[in-house]
Structure 1
Amino acid sequence: MRKPSEFDWRTIVALNSVSTLAQVGQFGIAFVVLPVWLVEQGLDATQLGMFAASLWLGQLPGLGFAPWLCKRFGDKQVILAGLFSTLLALLCTALVGWPFWLIGGGLAGFGLGLRWIALEPWLYLIAPAHARGRLVGFHETLIALAPIIAPVLAAYAGIHGKAVFWIGAGFTLSALVPLSFAKVAPINTHQNSVQTSGEHKLSFLRQPRDRLFKQGVIIALLGGMTEAAVSGLFAVYAQERGYTVNQITDLLALFGLGGLLLQYPVGWLTDHSSLGTAAISCAIGTLLVAVTMTLPITYLTMQITVFLLGGCITAFLTLALIASTTTAFGDMAQNVSVLSMLYTVSAVAGPLMAGVIMKATQGDALMWFIAMAALIMAAALAISGSGKWRR
């Protein structure tokens, strides 16, 4: 086991900083604030669902090609490409109208996907393996600042104009500073140095039979659906309940705050108990909170429930990443890429389905959609674990 002094802490800090800053522009603005801005431009639930789906759909080529691009050009260069894709997406969205906003959404998702896969396997492989669950939780806590910071800044600057695009561009560009301090990895971080090519192929084929990986698949498929539906359509749900734009941005900030505060405890629970225990707890919490949000509740109660919903739903991505980085089989970058793509495919479908249902019924249908997905997740995890939760 390496001593603490042997770890490249400068690069660990730098990469965490890159994620924290870039996530505000790439996710906080693009995925959380822009749907509110688009509601102000007159988009309905179906159109907003299409835009939300375009964000996640754009991630797929980024997630899929990032491991190959990293091997060919290097992790740092792929991160740079992801950041500049987001800048182009913000420019496109600011200058065009519907349906060309979908192009901006796709570019924003593509940029986030590139940065995600290029950065996180690099970070986790150079960090202490014995605390990887906590590191994932800490890293996800940092990037969970994005859905707090972005709505607060957008509300302060004004949601009606173009200020949100300047905020997104500023944070995305600022990520270049800590990236310059990250040392290039001495080995290819997207290969497992202890496996031969044949062993790698064999282990990848064995992944579907690994219980941790199967649980990661369940979490990714249903977690992506719920997160994308809430982040993309919450503005419509809240607007139908009579909340103002400022109240909606405040609620979104509380949603992000809940995600911020829960990620490290989720990582800690996984390290000290199991992935299944943590995931079922979050799924049941999501179910209870979503059902509560369909009731005629006060604004204070809404604030509390949105905070709890943010904590539970944001944890699903953290748990999927923990599954991809701790499973016994395969190359870590490939595992992260596979589960991230499953999460993203699910996220494309989530807002599309929920948007159609909401337009045909009412805004509260969003929460019933979330509750049903959480119930299915809890049941599927319980069946896959068969009561044996430890690794």
Structure 2
Amino acid sequence: MPLRKPVFSRFSALLGPVAMPLALVNLASFVSQIIQIGVIDTLLPLALTNAGLGERHGGMMLSLYWLADLIGGFFVAAILRKTHPVIPLLISGVSFFTLIVVVMVAPQSFWVLPATLFAGLGLILRWVVCDGLIVQLAPANKVGRVVGFHETLMGLGIVLGPILIGWLGDDARMMSGLALAAAIIALLCGFAFPRLEMASTKKGAGATLRRWIDHWDLVLIAFVAGFVEICFLSVLPLQAQRDTGLADAGLWLAAIFVFGGTICQPVIGYLSDKGGPVKLAWLCFALLLAGAVPLALSGYGVFAGMVQFAIGMAVAGLYTAAVLIAASGRGEQGYQVGVLVLVSQSYTLGAIVGPSAGTALLVMIGGWALPVLVLTAGSLSVLLLSIRHMTERVKM
């Protein structure tokens, strides 16, 4: 009887000669994601708060991290056209390692601000390099599966962040060592990467502005996804620390929140295939609103984990719905690419606003902060999207 082929052999047979480069891109992106989003989104506000700077200061600093990511996105293409991917990965690794060291060793120092901004730039560099290479290397008939696998890894990377903070968060050497290991692994993988093919676009500001106006519904959906996700990652540990004296329960709830969105991606995809991405978005908003009141009353036990799991699924579904709407039936291929970029920018805008809003409200009203934010964001979104839907029906 023939021996069963190893997993990587089957992977190689499926993808051919690009299997090894794709595996290395996934590995580099995964280890970086653990630190750049999983750890930093939770550790930065928590460490600054524990250093006596307050929740608002920590939330504002995380907002600046995402702001640097957004601004860096306007310049990253020019950088990547002139360099091999190993250079952006080197910058990315140095940036997140520097931030972890500064936050763990000297959270009250001036250097936290420049380190945060530098790390935000490193995030967008790694993001574009790895996502771009995933699409570039994937066989044309397997792009969906390859991208889906990559996004699942990215979700698992975020899940690991709060868990690692719970285990190692007080140990500066261990956290710094973890960041250094991730940076080295990503850099070593980068030496095997091909150059990223960057198409030059000459679109003016007018075309970009027009996309924002024409597709404000997608802007809203993706904004809410980024707003809620990064808000929860930053606020849950701080809220648990206020309520129980320890951040551990909040760290585990944050991990469950992200895990819900990650593990349920096949269900989200199935619902979209059956009812369409627009109906998926409405369903996710309904689930988000339904979870707001239980969120306020759930505490930190098993029921709280179930609520976080459901809300995490709703948030992941919102972003997936926005991407699918953008990719289907909204203009020619080139225009669709512009709309997909718009979706990612809108998510990032939500990530900028979420931590500051969440921590400010946490200081004001305590444990009701997240439920109030979810109710407000969900209700306003449903109202605005309903108005758009009715307006379109009248025009028809």
1:359-387 Cα offsets, whole Å, 9 max, x none, are 22223122211222123334444555669
Q: Residue 52 of structure 2: SS of its match in structure 1?
A: coil
Q: Does 1:141 align with 2:149?
A: no
**Residues 209 and 39 (structure 1 numbering): CA distance in 2 closer, same or farther, change over 3 Å?**
closer
Q: What's the CA shift string for 1:129-182, capped at 9, x where partnerless?
A: 666555544322111112322222332335364432322332232222333333
Contact map agreement 2:323 2:343 (CA 8 A) in 1: yes
Q: 1:335-346 alignment to 2 at 5 Å?
A: 335-346=339-350
Q: Which residues in structure 2 correspond to 1:1-391 (within 5 Å)?
A: 8-98=18-108, 100=110, 101-127=112-138, 135-159=146-170, 161-185=172-196, 188-191=197-200, 207-208=211-212, 213-242=215-244, 244-271=246-273, 273-295=275-297, 297=299, 299-322=301-324, 328-329=331-332, 330=334, 335-384=339-388
**Residues 371 and 167 (structure 1 numbering): CA distance in 2 closer, same or farther, change over 3 Å?**
farther
Alpha-carbon distance between aligned partners in 1 of 2:229 and 2:280, rounded to the nearest angstrom:
17
**CA distance, structure 2, for counterparts of residue 104 and residue 169 of structure 1:** 15
**Aligned-partner SS, 1:182:** coil
The CA distance in 1 between the partners of 2:159 and 2:224, in whole Å, is 23
Q: After alignment, is 339-348 or 133-142 more displaced?
A: 133-142
In the TM superposition, what is the alpha-carbon distance from 1:273 to its structure 2 partner?
4.2
Equivalent residues of 2:249, 2:300 under 8 A apart: no
Counterpart contact for 2:44–2:58, Cα < 8 Å = no
Secondary structure of 1:145 counterpart = helix
Q: How far did residue 75 of structure 1 move?
A: 4.5
Which structure has the higher relative contact order (CA within 8 Å, separation 6+)? 1
- Preserved contact between residue 55 and residue 105 of structure 1 (Cα < 8 Å): yes
Provide the secondary structure at the position in 1 that maps to 2:131.
helix
Give the number of equivalent residue pairs. 377
How far off is 1:331 after superposition? 6.4
Q: Would the alpha carbon gap of residues 317 and 109 (structure 1) be closer, same or farther in structure 2, given more than 3 Å must change?
A: farther
Deviation of the 1:202 alpha carbon: 9.7
| 1:202–1:372 distance in 2 versus 1, CA, 3 Å | closer
How far apart are residue 112 of structure 1 and its match?
0.9
Cα distance in 2 between the residues matched to 1:172 and 1:378: 41
Distance 1:128-1:207 versus aligned 2 partners, 3 A rule: farther
- Distance in 2, matches of 1:176 and 1:163, equals 20
Query: Cα 1:214–1:266, aligned 2, differ >3 Å: closer, same or farther?
Result: farther
| Structure-1 separation of matches of 2:269 and 2:318 | 11
For 1:298 and 1:60, the matched residues in 2 are separated by: 34
Structure 1 residues without counterparts, runs of 5 or longer: none
- Give the stretch that moved more between structures: 169-178 or 377-386: 377-386
Measured after TM superposition, the shift of residue 297 of structure 1 is 4.4
Contact 1:287 1:371 in 2 (8 A): yes
Preserved contact between residue 140 and residue 318 of structure 1 (Cα < 8 Å)? no
CA RMSD for the aligned pairs?
3.4
**Structure 2, gaps ≥5 residues long:** 1-13
CA distance in 2, matches of 1:177, 1:311: 34
Deviations, residues 326-358 of structure 1 (Å, cap 9, x unaligned): 554436765554433332223222222232233
TM-score, normalised to structure 1's length?
Answer: 0.81
Sequence identity (%): 23
TM-score normalised over the length of structure 2: 0.80
Q: Which amino acid aligns with 1:117?
A: V
Q: Between Structure 1 and Structure 2, which shows a larger proportion of helix residues?
A: 2
Alpha-carbon separation, structure 2, partners of 1:305 and 1:268: 22
The amino acid across from 1:218 in the alignment is L
Query: 1:219 Cα shift?
Result: 2.0
CA 1:362–1:39 in structure 2 vs 1: closer, same or farther (change >3 Å)?
Answer: same
Further displaced range: 324-333 or 270-279: 324-333
Question: In the superposition, relative to structure 1, how do residues 233 and 18 fare at CA in structure 2: closer, same or farther (>3 Å)?
Answer: same
The offset of 1:304, in angstroms, is 1.4
Report SS of the residue matched to 2:366.
coil
**1:294 positional shift:** 0.9
Alignment check: 8 A CA contact 2:285 2:314 kept: yes
Contact residue 160 and residue 255 of structure 2 kept, 8 A: yes
Larger Rg: 2
Does the aligned pair in 1 maintain the 2:63–2:351 contact within 8 Å?
Answer: yes
